[in-house]
Amino acid sequence: MNHIERLQDDGFCVLPDVLTPTQVADVRARLLRSAEESERRGAPTFIPSLDHNAANVRVFNLLDLDPVFRELILHPAALELVQGLLGDGYMISNFTANIARPGSRSMNIHSDQALVIPEPWEAPWAINVIWCLDDVTAENGGTLHLPDSHRIRRVADLPDDAVARMVPFTARAGSIIGMDGRMWHTSGANITENQERALLFGYYTMDFIRPQVNWNATLSPETIDSLDPELFERLGLGPMANVRHGGSLTSLSGVL
């Protein structure tokens, strides 16, 4: 089975060595600077409605904070997973980070597809590409997932002991993990003395689903001006909001 077939069948796959150790160190340093910049701009990195305490550091709006994130969201290895699950008609819905430091605890369980469209969830219409900037282990808060839960169509079908049945993803720094948007998951608790677990979450959905964030409101004019055409299009910043790729009306994009 290749990794796309594993993603389709198991609901996730792990691709090692997508980033070199030097690249991991560079992206991680930029993430820490972005966390500071986010606070400076007034966007807090501790979100009490998500996390139990400030040991979790959340960084939203990565695409506006450092150009490296604009490269990663279109990284060919990530897009291969996205296209392998969703096909070519996808959009970029969000790109965020969660640094789980010692003392962090699990958030509420959820599936990311459930956050953007109502049940029943019949098909994979969303995918997360998780960038591992540290070795990810059970002890340092590796994302917990409920095996096979990408086949669950309704909340009522979740087992009562879903949390107890969850198992952590493990991966080396530099890996990416593709996770079907229907997979139920949560952050793990970081029970180590001194190991941080920094992850980036690139979230992509089918192009008929409204993105999680309004990119027109979150990206600065300077960032929008600097976007390459592919990224501009995949963020839904072009004039057409909802015309299927390849549909007969796409020619309208030239006249609007």
Ligand X SMILES: O=C(O)CCC(=O)C(=O)O
Residue 205 near ligand X by CB under 6 A: no
Q: How far is the CB of 202 from ligand X (least distance, A)?
A: 12
> Site for ligand X (CB under 6 A): which residue of 70, 101, 145, 185?
185
Residue position matching structure tokens 């600065």: 220
**Judged by CB under 6 A, how many residues of this single chain contact ligand X?**
6
**93 vs 98, beta carbon nearer ligand X:** 98
| DSSP H/E element including 227 | none
At 153, list the tokens. 């169509």
DSSP-assigned letters across all residues of 112-144: HHHHHSPSP--S--EEEEEEESS-B-TTBTPPE
Q: Which is nearer to ligand X, 90 or 169 (CB)?
A: 169
Number of H helices, E strands in the chain: 10, 9
**C-alpha angle 40-72-42 in degrees, rounded to nearest 5:** 15
Least distance in Å: CB of 201 to ligand X? 6
Q: Compare residues 85 and 100 and give the one whose CB is closer to ligand X.
A: 100
Residue 187 binds to ligand X (criterion: CB under 6 A) = yes
Task: By CB under 6 A, tell whether 113 contacts ligand X.
Answer: no
DSSP 35-92: HHHHHHTT--S--TTT-SSTTEEEE--HHHH-HHHHHHTT-HHHHHHHHHHH-S-EEE
Interface with ligand X in residues 136-175 (CB under 6 A): 143
Binder to ligand X among 93, 98, 137, 149 (CB under 6 A)? 98
Question: Which residues are near ligand X by CB under 6 A?
Answer: 98, 100, 143, 185, 187, 199
